[in-house]
Amino acid sequence: MNGFILKKDNLVPLLRKLRKGGRLVAPVQNRHGDTMFTAIEDFDRQHIDLKNQAQASLKPFFFPQEEPLYTYQNKKGYDFKPVNSSEPTIFFGLRSCDLTAILYMDVIFSQKSPDPFYFERRREAVLISLGCSRPFANCFCNNSRSGPFLEYGFDLQFTDLGHCFFVEADRARGEELLERWSCYFTPATEEDCRNKYQVVLEARSSFKQTVHVDQAIKKLTADIDLESIWKELSSRCQDCGGCAYICPTCTCFTIVDQPVDDTHGTRLRQWDSCTFAGFTRMAGGHNPVDYADHAIRRRFLHKLKTDVEKHGRPSCVGCGRCVGICFGGVDMIRFIKMVNELPAEEGK
């Protein structure tokens, strides 16, 4: 593997150069102390924060909470015009879980026919990730096999070696950047490579959460009886939808038409969530899902069972954001622990 070294002093100068090629998005701490992925307008006034986890993932940049898909006009029959709001963007400082989530969304949005709106943005994105040498409080990506460092999928991956960054490329776009801005990089020595592996090893052993995802998946695949868990968690679920909105891999949406007047309007795509009763309620009022007891059943089974069967891996990336956001304590860590505490039984 060809690694390179970037001095920390050169980070901002490099990003300044990269920004000339498109919008630059990085985790920025705002004046209220919250770290969010933000477009950088001014390096002197916006503080790039590589110490804290960004509160939201990059999902909204590829799949916005609400996006206009088409404008329509009704003269003699409807005439739809697609809306294009994509622009070339360099994403810097995303974490391994965020990147894994994007790779998962690539799969979801390419089923049957690729989603043009998603892939327009995806094609114009350069992804520069930063491996996590110090995992955050609720992270368990080592257990969900989506971090703390990745082997593939990134354009460039940065590793913090203390005094400098170790930089490696996986995809052609990353290689191009290294070549174009080679003046900022020096080839990594063998010692640098050893240091990098040391950081990776130490990171793996410094997680604060131990969540046995694979064990839970095994139990779920064996179809054990989970009724008590659904009941307990559903009665604690407050139906706010926060878990689905914050989750980097929840991609359910609904489409609504917003009329401007009698003949014009906009067709919008908005996030939706399977935890909402209105998600499955039928026109006559019947709901095939009993939300009193099963409000969160589909969410957890989709992540840990359906996706394992369909795509060979769970769609929980272990970012821990649902743990922080849920005020009923109905989060992935609790669910997995509850499943693992159930006595093992024979498959039905």
Partner 1 sequence: MAGLATTFGSGAMTNSIAEIGRAEVILVIGSNTTEAHPQVARRIFDALDRGSKLIVIDPRRTALARQAHIHLQHRPGTDIPLLNCLMRLILDDNLHDDVFIEMRTENFNQLRDMLFRLDPREKAAVANVPLSRIKQAAELYGRASKAVICYCLGITQHICGTDNVQSIANLAMLTGNVEKADTGVDPLRGQNNVQGACDMGALPGVFPGYQAVGDIIIREKFARAWQTELPARPGLTLLEMTHSQGKTIKGMFIMGENPLLSDPTLARVRDTLEKLEFLAVSDIFLTETAELAHVVFPAASFAEKTGTFTNSERRVQMVRQAIKPPGQCRTDSDIISALSRRLGYEMNYESTAEIMEEIALLTPVYGGMYHDRLESSWGLQWPCFDRRHPGTEFLHKYNFARGRGCFVPAAHQLPGEQPDREYPFLLMTGRVYHHYHTAAMTRACARLNRESPEALLEINPVDAGSLSLVAGEMVKLATRRGSIKLKILISEQVAEGMLYTSFHFTEAPVNLLTNASSDPKSKCPEYKICAAQVEKII
**Contacts with partner 1, residue ranges (CB under 8 A):** 235-236, 238-240, 256, 270, 276-278, 284-286, 292, 327-329
- Closest approach of partner 1 to the CB of residue 274, in Å: 13
Tell me how far apart the alpha carbons of residues 208 and 51 are, in angstroms, rounded to a whole number.
16
Q: Name the residue nearer to partner 1 (CB basis): 187 or 329.
A: 329
Q: Name the residue nearer to partner 1 (CB basis): 203 or 247.
A: 247
Contact assessment for residue 280 and residue 289, using Cβ atoms and an 8 Å cutoff: yes
- Closest approach of partner 1 to the CB of residue 319, in Å: 21
Q: Name the residue nearer to partner 1 (CB basis): 222 or 292.
A: 292
- Closest approach of partner 1 to the CB of residue 126, in Å: 32
Q: Name the residue nearer to partner 1 (CB basis): 182 or 254.
A: 254
- Closest approach of partner 1 to the CB of residue 318, in Å: 21
Letter string b/e over residues 193-203, b meaning 16 or more CB atoms within 10 A of that residue's CB: eebbeebbeeb
- Closest approach of partner 1 to the CB of residue 284, in Å: 8
Tell me how far apart the alpha carbons of residues 82 and 100 are, in angstroms, rounded to a whole number.
29
Q: Name the residue nearer to partner 1 (CB basis): 156 or 244.
A: 244
How many angstroms separate the Cα of 290 from the Cα of each of 141, 187, 224, 298? 32, 59, 20, 11
Tell me how far apart the alpha carbons of residues 171 and 157 are, in angstroms, rounded to a whole number.
10
Greatest C-alpha distance within the chain: 71
Q: Name the residue nearer to partner 1 (CB basis): 123 or 286.
A: 286
DSSP 151-194: SSS-SEEEEE-SSEEEEEE-SHHHHHHHHHTGGGEEEPPHHHHH
Tell me how far apart the alpha carbons of residues 264 and 62 are, in angstroms, rounded to a whole number.
26
- Closest approach of partner 1 to the CB of residue 186, in Å: 44
Contact assessment for residue 143 and residue 165, using Cβ atoms and an 8 Å cutoff: no
